[in-house]
Amino acid sequence: IQPSDDFQCKIIYAKPGFIELCTPQTNYGMKGSLALFLNPVMHLTPDQQIVCRRDFDLLELRVKDTEHHFYREMLLNTMQTAILDFFDFHARIYGESDISTQNASIMSRFLKMLEEGTYREHREVTYYADCLCVTSKYLSEVSKKVSGYAANYWINRYTILDITRLLRNKSLTFVQISDMFDFSSPAYFSRYVQQNLGVKPSDYRE
C-alpha cells in the first residue's frame, strides 16, 4: 500500500475489555468480526462515510468531556452506537446473518482457544471439538456456517500468522521455531510452512 501525499487517517485505540463491554448482545458480532479479520477494509458509500466520520468525531469529543457526571456510561453508549453502525455497514455490504446463539457460542469459544495460543501444541480439529464437547464434524460445520471456512482453516491461519511473525525475527533459528510449535521435526515444520505459504522458511526469511 502506498499512501498519497494528501493521505490522512483517524485512529481510535480501545482496549479489548472496553470493546467487549460496548459490543451489543447480538450474534451478528461474530460474523462481522471474522469477516473483518479476513479483510479489515470496508468500502463505504459516501453516506456511510459521513456516518462513520460523525461517529469518530463524537467519540473524540466525548473522550475529552471528563467532567461529565456519567462519563463511563456515556463513553460506553457512544462506542456502542459506533459499533452498531459498523455492523450496519457490514450487513449492507455482505448481507444479513442468521447465526444461532449456540453456534455463535461454540465459534466464540473455539476462537478464544486459538487466540490463547493453543494451536502451538494442538493443530487437530478433534482436540478442539473434544474441549467443546462436540464432534469434529459438527465443529467444522459450525465454523463453515458462521465464517464460511472449516475449523481447520482457522487453526492453520492462526498458526501460520504466528510462524510468519517469528520467521521475521532472524535471531530465532528454524529449529527453535519448530520446537515452539511442537513439530515432530524441523523437516515437518518446513513442509508445513511450504504447504501454507508456498515457500520454504528460508525463502520466506530472505
Half-sphere exposure of 110 (CA within 13 A, CB side): 37
User: In sequence order, which ranges of 39-173 are alpha helices (DSSP H)?
Assistant: 46-64, 71-94, 101-115, 125-131, 136-147, 151-167
| Dist CA 41 CA 176 (whole Å) | 35
User: How many other C-beta atoms are found inside a 10 Å radius of the C-beta of residue 20?
Assistant: 10
Q: Could you state, in order of their start, the residue ranges of all structural domains in the chain? A: 16-94, 101-205
The CATH number that domain 101-205 falls under is: 1.10.10.60
pTM of the model: 0.66
pLDDT means per 10 residues, the chain with 206 residues, are 87 85 70 70 91 95 95 94 88 71 85 93 96 95 87 94 92 94 93 91 87
Pair 107, 151: CB distance under 8 Å: no
Let me know the angle formed at the C-alpha of 155 by 153 and 160, rounded to the nearest 5 degrees.
Answer: 90
